[in-house]
Amino acid sequence: MYLINLRYTGALAEIDDALDAHRAFLIRYFEAGVFVMAGPKVPREGGIIASGIERARLDEIIAEDPFAQQSLAHYDITEFKATRLAPGLNLPEPASSEG
């Protein structure tokens, strides 16, 4: 699992202009089962949790984000190995080492 913290490097007006394309990017990877959570942090910047993917492939996916393509955000990616969850939540499947 990966925690992806976005730190905006562009002006908020530029972020807002690219937001629809960024949201379409998020939807694509939610539907693919890669992203399991996303949303704004407070103060406003972004965050994504990704699971079931190898780091090299995640880097390729992040490069597709309109925010990345327009140099509007910097991405800090941290690998996180969840071992405990609140009752009722399930751990995502780990990434396969077979490609």
Tens-digit pLDDT profile for residues 26-79: 999 999 999 999 998 888 888 899 998 999 999 999 999 999 999 999 999 999
Question: Domain coordinates of the chain in residue numbers?
Answer: 2-79
Contact 66, 25 (CB under 8 A): yes
Better pLDDT: 26 or 81: 26
The pTM of this model reads 0.83
Three-state DSSP class for residue 44: coil
94: closest CA among 57, 55, 51, 35?
51
What's the CATH number for 2-79?
Answer: 3.30.70.1060
